[in-house]
Amino acid sequence: MSEQTANISDPPAQNYREQRHHEVRKTRIVMVDGNIAVNSRTVEGGASARVFDRGYWGFASAPGSRIDIEGLSSKAAVNASAMSRFGARSILNVPAGSYRGEHRFAGKELMSAAECMELLEALHAYCREKYPQLQSSTFILHDEDHSKHLENSFGSDVTNAIQRAACYIFLTAEAADGRPVELFESISGKGSLADLQLSVDRLAPQIESLYQHLQAKRQAVPAQGGEQTIVLSPELAGMLAHEAMGHPCEADIVLGGAVTANLVGQSVGSDKITMVDYAHSYGGSEVLVPVYADDEGTPARDAVLIQDGVLTEFMNSRETAAETSAVPTGNARGYGYSDEPLVRMRNTAILPGTDKLDDIIAEVEHGYYLVKTGNGQADSTTEFMFGIDLGYEIRDGKLGAAIADTTVSGTAINMLKTVDAVSDDMHWTCSGYCGKKQPMIVSMGGPALRGKAHLGGE
Amino acid sequence: MNNLQATAEGALAMMLEQGFTEAQVGASRAEQDEVYIGHNQASMLRSTEEQKLALSGIIDGRRASTELSDFDKEGIAAAVEGLYADALLAPSDEANAVSSAESLDYVDGPQERNLDLLTDKVAELLEFRESQTPLITMDEGGASHRRTESRILTSGGTNISTRVGSYSLLAFGTATEGDQSSSLAYAGGSCRNLDSHATSYFGIDEMLRTTERQIHTRPIEDKFQGEVVLEPSAVSDLLSWLITQLSDMQLLSGSSVFQSSVGELIAADLLSVSSRFDGPGLAPVTGDGFVAKPVNLVERGCLQTLLPSLYGSRKTGIEHCPSGAGWQVAAGATARNELCAGLDRGAWVGRLSMGRPAANGDFSGVIKGSFEIVDGQLGDALAEVMISGNMADMLRNIVAVSAETIDTGSEDLPWLRIAGLNFS
């Protein structure tokens, strides 16, 4: 990390220009039952220019590394000018603020192709020998490295790297009725696969845990549908933070009619709930997806979305900050060189409390402990859902039978008000993508929570 | 775009010279212009160019792939060298192969952008919203033109050339009144021309009007078993699950619920599914270098074929089926407004918000853009209502198929009435 400077005192402006070079390198290797189904390395790079002129945006992008960036900028200006056929727009003063700095993660040297293949073959051999009852095993190694350089008319000059890696383990077994049952585990982190320090010895406990959960799931019972007392594992609380209240707190979604628009200053959760979208640091350490300045060159700051149950502010871009008279947060991010920056989350988390997970479960007479999720979706109403791949019944304070795959849903504002216990754990993850016109790398974190929500089932 | 063929030929020659015994090269370039709507106003004109060179090489059964966006000779040479090193490290698998002697020169759709047309269509979307559905905030939307040119060459003599142009429209938003909001709703797709009013495409008109009726919703208080009428966007989820079950990853792991079902009834005899590889915006080509062939996937409920790639086929012994990307479900005989007739209790479902179905097809999800149905009549808009069931059972429990369909380019789908869902 080089020396950096942030300036947030310049006056707003009615015109704005930015230029971004952006390269994405990915490695993806998929082994299904010992067969390499995918063995791919990709490099996608290019540049974009964006111009804000008299209320309209013009954007242009081109691929490759030898790009006439000034020509691209001119094309973006022509595009912005062409929009005047829709008539004059009210003048918007885009907030200034600039950042100069360079940020790269100093990780380990990349795993070689040979090391990746050796690891996958060892994992397959280990599972085949130790768990012969498995119907199938799939291992996926995924590396993704974004390198961006941005300059804008406010004087920002930022080099930012986002680098993350993930290893996915899928195990499939046969249930008592002969139908397949599947579970997966993801191990993700900042940097490359080498920084995850993957090895059979290190992954063996996680594979054993996954296998034992899979055995329990072979005898799964259906969840009881309807409103239930649920305990969300820390892994799921991060998903709740992201889906349930994260998306409805993105200022473009707010301007699009989300119900959160009129709730700033009002209670949207129990006083045990504090939720923050972190820019680059949490608890004195750099987060998994550090954003020091966003793709508009705005100095990034933490956005405190909910403080002690009260909705406090939204995440924004320069334009939505202007439209909502807010202080910019630095949440404008574009996934690839041909993507314009949109308001996106960075590292969204519900903060830990003081309760112990064991106690939280022990106090439940009848409910469900929800452990793993595959995906989730949000809505402008704060109605959320996420799939539950692994969960257990809670009976008289003790974990019971595994439950079949189900879905948990609810309205976040109602659900968060029912939260009566928050554990002292904190689990961060950065596997998968957030989808909103473009994909995006984000991280999410949280403690275990207890509350009430709707479960799909009989 | 004249250098695509030369780039592909040059890359293929480099790969063979490097020592690959088999090789495939895909070179493509795309240009897109999009007039974009943000929050009820035209907000941006976006012009993008993309290019990609996809290389896949095999040596002694060992395979590796790479993609790059720089087409300079030195960069390609370095990529080929790296690819060769990666392939040598992969385990040998005799199922790896490339296509041979496939040939196609395909041109479809509008090849030139018409910016005036795009702005006209955006103006129509905005004018309709303002005059007909003022409670809608069109959060995103717009009109775009895309032109993609590609070449696929293999060491087996495959030579495929495609040039595909298409227009697209999108409307995405929420209806609000006071402090109440509807769920997010959207409609859009691709087509070859934009001769008609923008809202007449892809069900945009109906989506906007219907969403205004979904601001004030209520939950269902009890649990019951009932029926659903799925709109085409929800049918798309069901179709997507079916296609996944018939494709490589499920077949290779042996976990497809239809692994041994070819020739068997897997759905009600009202359901027929066929490929739509030449739909608007689609190139009739597979990723592994084959010209897509017409495929009758399900005929009156009977599964006709599985959908392995060349690799999947050689690995599993299942007959290879190059199907391409698009699909259509055949229209039925029931008028859409008759689908509710005789339905005791259930819901009209705009889309499904759900997790990935379980490996056995079990699923549960929230029904969005939905209305209650009681005694054959559409009732109140619903919120926080979940349905659960099994995807394979849903295919078998189709009780009516609409005569009308919505064509979004890659999919042409009717409304389906399906029994046997649990509501909670």
Distances (CA, A) of A420 to A45, A229, A364, A413: 48, 11, 11, 14
d(CA B238, CA B229): 13
Inform me whether the pLDDT recorded for A289 exceeds 90.
yes
DSSP 8-state code for residue A244? I
How many angstroms separate the first and last alpha carbons of chain A? 54
- Given an 8 Å threshold on Cβ–Cβ distance, is B223 in contact with A225? yes
CB A338 within 8 A of CB A61: yes
φ, ψ dihedrals at A80, nearest 5°: -60, -40
Selected residue with higher pLDDT from B1 and A364: A364
Residue A256 confidence (pLDDT): 87
pLDDT tens readout for residues A423-454: 999 999 999 899 888 999 999 999 999 999 99
CB B251 within 8 A of CB B308: yes
Which chain B positions have a beta carbon within 8 Å of A226's beta carbon?
223, 424
Confidence of residue B419 (pLDDT cuts 50, 70, 90): very high
| Residue B397 domain flag | yes
Residue A346 confidence (pLDDT): 98
DSSP 8-state code for residue A330? -
Query: Could you tell me the CATH number of the domain that includes residue B37?
Result: 3.30.2290.10
Mutation target vs B (from A16, A22, A42; most B CBs, 10 A cutoff): A42
Q: How high is the mean pLDDT of chain A?
A: 93
- Given an 8 Å threshold on Cβ–Cβ distance, is B364 in contact with A411? no
Residues B208 and B250 in one domain: no
Q: Which residue in B has a C-alpha nearest to residue A46's C-alpha?
A: B69
Q: State the DSSP H helix or E strand holding residue A171, giving kind and residue range, or none if neither.
A: strand A157-174
- Given an 8 Å threshold on Cβ–Cβ distance, is B174 in contact with A65? no
| Residue B286 domain flag | yes
- The β-bridge relationship of strands B411-423 and B386-390 is antiparallel
pLDDT tens readout for residues B59-111: 999 999 999 999 999 999 999 999 999 999 999 999 999 999 999 999 999 99
For residue B57, count CB atoms less than 10 angstroms from its CB and return exposed for 0-12, middle for 13-18, buried for 19 or more.
Answer: buried
- Residue B27's domain spans which residues? 3-212
Residues B348 and B410 in one domain: yes
d(CA A353, CA A271): 11
d(CA A246, CA A268): 13
The reply to whether A45 touches chain B by the CB within 8 Å rule is yes
pLDDT tens readout for residues A200-243: 999 999 999 999 999 999 999 999 988 999 999 999 999 899 98
Could you tell me the maximum CA-CA distance found in chain A, to the nearest angstrom? 70
Select from B212, B234, B251 the last residue of a domain.
Answer: B212
DSSP characters over A391-443: EEEEETTEEEEEB-SEEEEEEHHHHHHT--EEBS--EEE--S-EEESEEE--E
Residue matched to tokens 């006709």: B304
CB B70 within 8 A of CB B27: no
Residues B129 and B193 in one domain: yes
Q: Which residue in A has a C-alpha nearest to residue B384's C-alpha?
A: A410
Residue A8 confidence (pLDDT): 67
Q: Per this entry, what is the length of chain B?
A: 424
Residues B156 and B283 in one domain: no
**Dihedral sign (CA B253, B254, B255, B259):** positive
By Cβ distance, the residue of A58, A83, A387 closest to B42 is A83
| Residue B218 domain flag | no
Amino acid code (one letter) for A161:
A
φ, ψ dihedrals at B272, nearest 5°: -130, 130
Residues B306 and B160 in one domain: no
Name the residue among A162, A160, A163 with its Cα closest to residue A293: A160
Residues B145 and B269 in one domain: no
| Residue B8 domain flag | yes
Query: How many C-beta atoms lie closer than 10 Å to residue B89's C-beta?
Result: 16
| Residue B133 domain flag | yes
CB B35 within 8 A of CB B98: no
Which chain B positions have a beta carbon within 8 Å of A124's beta carbon?
none
Q: Which residue in A has a C-alpha nearest to residue B61's C-alpha?
A: A36
Name the residue among A427, A425, A428, A422 with its Cα closest to residue A443: A428
Which chain A positions have a beta carbon within 8 Å of B180's beta carbon?
259
pLDDT tens readout for residues A322-359: 999 999 999 999 999 999 999 999 999 999 999 999 99
Residue matched to tokens 């704005």: A16
Name the residue among B343, B308, B338, B313 with its Cα closest to residue B323: B308
Q: State the DSSP H helix or E strand holding residue A195, giving kind and residue range, or none if neither.
A: helix A193-196
Confidence of residue A198 (pLDDT cuts 50, 70, 90): very high
Q: Residue A355 corresponds to which tokens in the numbers above?
A: 């309760």
Mapped to the 3 state alphabet, what secondary structure does chain B carry?
Answer: CCHHHHHHHHHHHHHHHHCCCEEEEEEEEEEEEEEEEECCEEEEEEEEEEEEEEEEEEECCEEEEEEECCCCHHHHHHHHHHHHHHHHHCCCCCCCCCCECCEEEEEECCCCCCHHHHHHHHHHHHHHHHHHCCCEEEEEEEEEEEEEEEEEEECECCEEEEEEEEEEEEEEEEEEECCEECCCEEEEEEECCCCCCHHHCCCHHHHHHHHHCCCCCECCCCCEEEEEEECHHHHHHHHHHHHHHCCHHHHHHCCCCCCCCCCCECCCCCCCEEECCCCCCCCCECCCCCECCCCEEEECCEECCCCCCHHHHHHHCCCCCCCCCCEEECCCCECHHHCCCCCCEEEEECEEEECCCCCCCEEEEEEECEEEEECCEEEEEECCCEEEEEHHHHHHCEEEEEEEEEECCCEEEEEEEEEEEEEC
Residues B156 and B34 in one domain: yes
Q: Rg of the Cα trace of chain B?
A: 24
| Residue B219 domain flag | no
Distances (CA, A) of B397 to B243, B275, B300, B301: 18, 22, 13, 11
Residue matched to tokens 């059979």: A200
Q: Which residue in A has a C-alpha nearest to residue B123's C-alpha?
A: A86
CB A264 within 8 A of CB A249: no
Q: Residue B289 corresponds to which tokens in the numbers above?
A: 């270098």
The reply to whether A64 touches chain B by the CB within 8 Å rule is yes
Structural domain total, chain B = 2
Residue B314 confidence (pLDDT): 97
CB within 8 A of B256, min separation 6: which ones? Answer: B245, B246, B250, B306
d(CA B176, CA A313): 21
CB A413 within 8 A of CB A268: yes
The reply to whether A374 touches chain B by the CB within 8 Å rule is yes
By Cβ distance, the residue of B46, B68, B387 closest to A59 is B46
Quote the ipTM score.
Answer: 0.92
Residues B350 and B296 in one domain: yes
d(CA A186, CA A165): 10
| Bridge partners for A32 per DSSP | A35, A138
Residues B260 and B183 in one domain: no
pLDDT tens readout for residues B154-198: 999 999 999 999 999 999 999 999 888 899 999 999 999 999 999
CA distance B260 to chain A (A): 13
Residue B424 confidence (pLDDT): 85
* CA–CA–CA angle B69, B71, B73 (5° rounding): 140
pLDDT tens readout for residues A103-145: 999 899 999 989 999 999 999 999 999 999 999 999 999 999 9
Inform me whether the pLDDT recorded for A1 exceeds 70.
no
φ, ψ dihedrals at A228, nearest 5°: -140, 155
Name the residue among A454, A453, A441, A449 with its Cα closest to residue A22: A441
Which chain B positions have a beta carbon within 8 Å of A59's beta carbon?
44-48
Mutation target vs B (from A31, A86, A139; most B CBs, 10 A cutoff): A86
CB B129 within 8 A of CB B136: yes
The reply to whether B92 touches chain A by the CB within 8 Å rule is no
Q: Residue B102 corresponds to which tokens in the numbers above?
A: 């496939």
For residue B61, count CB atoms less than 10 angstroms from its CB and return exposed for 0-12, middle for 13-18, buried for 19 or more.
Answer: middle
Select from B212, B239, B267 the last residue of a domain.
Answer: B212
CB B276 within 8 A of CB B294: no
DSSP characters over A197-224: T--HHHHHHHHHHHHHHHHHHHT-BPPP
CB within 8 A of A167, min separation 6: which ones? Answer: A139, A140, A141, A142, A186, A187, A188, A193, A196, A198, A203
Rounded to an integer, the average pLDDT of B291-302 is: 97
Q: Rg of the Cα trace of chain A?
A: 23
DSSP 8-state code for residue A73? H
The reply to whether B74 touches chain A by the CB within 8 Å rule is no
| Residue B217 domain flag | no
pLDDT tens readout for residues B31-66: 999 999 999 999 999 999 999 999 999 999 999 999
Residues B119 and B249 in one domain: no
Q: Is B221 left (phi over 0), alpha (psi -120 to 50) or beta?
A: alpha
Using CB atoms and an 8 Å cut-off, which of residues 42-61 of chain B contact chain A?
Answer: 42-52
pLDDT tens readout for residues B344-374: 999 999 999 887 888 889 888 899 999 999 9
Residues B163 and B281 in one domain: no
Residues B200 and B307 in one domain: no
- Given an 8 Å threshold on Cβ–Cβ distance, is B181 in contact with A374? no
Select from B157, B189, B212 the last residue of a domain.
Answer: B212
| Domains, chain A, with CATH or none | 5-218 (3.30.2290.10), 226-455 (no CATH)
Selected residue with higher pLDDT from B236 and B384: B236
| Residue B21 domain flag | yes
